[in-house]
Amino acid sequence: MTLSLRSFMRHEAVLGILLVLVLFVLAQQSDKFFTTANILNQGRLMTEIGLIALPMTFVIITGGIDLSVGSILGLCAILLGVFWQNLGLPLPAAMALAVCVGALAGLVNGLIITRFKVPPLIATLATLALYRGLAEGISQARSVRGYPEWFFVLGQGEVLGVPTQLWILIVFAIGAAAILGLTTFGRATYAVGANETAARFSGINVDRTKLLIYTASGLVSGIAAVIFVSRVSTTRSDMGTGVELDVITAVVLGGTSIFGGRGTIIGTVIGLILVQALKNGLALSGVKGDGTIVVIGVVLIFAILASNLFSRNGDG
């Protein structure tokens, strides 16, 4: 076993132990915590964030960041309603179109970043405002309701006793893990993040890689938007506000280096479960909803702190 692989394992092992510990403590706090109903419900609640965290893992591995995912989610949600209700499109077409808009929004991010060389942080900060602004402008604070019954299967239904969207998340997570871990594209992603110049000098198409990743980030945010709307039965322009924070926390907590070049999907999934368990556990033990955001903020800072010390040791 080599050093790099060992340190990888060490990080995920630490995370795993932390997760078990947290689950144990939270289970002591409330006997509702470890019930099948609660666990499945938590799975339902974390699907949107979980989905977006998958491409975000790729984004952060390339050394970038995408702050606009929450706004893309909001924009797609609004457009889903507008396409269906105002333009009178059939709902499946509206869903597909909304997802396409998400992909387009991600593509725009990618183009700004690769063609104009704008740092991802600033580019997506600008589009965070722009996409949310478009959502607000288009919706004019009106919400869309009254979706047909079949549509709620996606966000509120169950398949084989498990929430529908959890199946989607599982399929996507496996797909993302396979792409990142096994394919040439995954290799390119790591190489771009660890040393962009060397990747380019090795014949890897750096711009194409980034473009695809940011587009995927937008696309998945669009899918998350559809699921979100189906789960809460309504669309509002402020949907997905602050989602970027939860997503980045999960990814970084999962061991993906904010400086790029390192990270795994499995880590992200563990990070995701940890965050959701904390939220749920705290809520069950009586902490009010907003108090849990505080915990996420603290956890985010400490996660980076740890991974910072970790990577510095690793480079020795």
Partner 1 sequence: MTDTGRTAKPMTATPASSAETAPPLVELRNTSKTFSGIKVLKNVGFDVRPGEVHALLGENGAGKSTLIKILSGFHTPDEGGEIRVNGRPVSFSSPRDARKAGIATVYQELLLFPDMTVAENIFIGHAPRAGMGALDWNEMRRRARALLDDLDSHDLDVDARVGGLSVANRQRVEIAKALSQDARLLIMDEPTASLADADVRRLLDVVRRLRERGVAIIYISHRMPEIFALADRVTVLRDGALIGTKDIEEVDDASLVSMMVGRSIDQLFPKVVVPIGAPVLELRKVSFKDEVQDISLTLRAGEILGIAGLVGSGRTELALTIFGITPATSGEILLNGRPVTIRSPQQARDLGIAYVPEDRGLQGLVKPQTIRENVSMALLDRISKGSIVDRVKESALARDAIARFGIRARGPEQRAGQLSGGNQQKVVLAKWVSTNPKVLIMDEPTRGIDVGAKSEIHALMCKLAGEGLAVIMISSELPEVLGMSDRIMVMNGGRMVRTFDRSEATPDVVGAAMTHAGASHAGGAA
Partner 2 sequence: MSFETATVRRSASTGFAARTFATYGQEFIILACIVVLFVAVGLIAPRFISPTNLTTIFVGNAYIAVAAIGMSMVIISGHIDVSVGSLIGVLATISGTLAVSGYPVWFAWLAPVIVGMVVTSFIGVLVAYVRIPSIVVTLGMLSILKGGLISVTGGAWITNLPPDYLIAQFRLFGIPSPVWFMIFLTAVAAMFMRYTAFGRSIYAIGGNGEAARVAGIPVERTTVTIFAIHGLFAGIAAVLFATQLQVIQSTVPPNLELTVITASVVGGVSILGGTGTVVGSTLAAILFAAIGSSLIFLNVSAYWLRAVQGLLILATVLADMARRHRIG
Interface ranges with partner 1 (CB under 8 A) = 2-5, 182-188, 190-191, 194-195, 197-205, 261-262, 314-315
- Identify the three-state secondary structure at position 241: coil
Under the criterion CB under 8 A, does residue 134 sit at the interface with partner 2?
yes
* Of the residues 96, 100, 179, 245, which one makes contact with partner 2 according to CB under 8 A: 245
Site for partner 2 in 37-66 (CB under 8 A): 65
Long-range contacts for 34-42 (Cβ within 8 Å, ≥24 apart)? 38/280, 40/161, 40/162, 40/163, 40/166, 41/163, 42/276, 42/277, 42/280
| Cβ(70)–Cβ(128) below 8 Å | yes
Determine the interface stretch with partner 2 among 26-34, 88-96, 185-193, 302-310 (rule: CB under 8 A): 302-310
Choosing from 11, 44, 132, 210, the residue that interacts with partner 2 (CB under 8 A) is 132
- CA dihedral (52, 53, 55, 61) positive or negative: positive
Min dist CB 299 to partner 1, Å, is: 25
Residue 175 binds: one of partner 2, partner 1, none (C-beta under 5 to 8 A by kind)? none
Q: Which of the listed partners (partner 2, partner 1, none) does 313 bind, with a CB threshold of 5 to 8 Å by partner kind?
A: none
With a CB cutoff of 8 Å and minimum separation 6, the contacts of 103 are 215, 216, 218, 219, 222
CA angle 260, 262, 268 (to 5 degrees): 105
Which residues, 6+ apart, have CB-to-CB distance to 132 below 8 Å? Answer: 70, 71, 74, 75, 237, 241
Question: CB under 5 to 8 A by kind: which of partner 1, partner 2, none does 28 bind?
Answer: none
203 contact choice in partner 2, partner 1, none (CB below 5 to 8 Å, kind-dependent): partner 1
Per CB under 8 A, residues contacting partner 2 are: 65, 112, 116-119, 121-123, 125-134, 136-137, 139-141, 237, 242, 245, 248-249, 252, 258, 287-298, 300-301, 304-305, 308
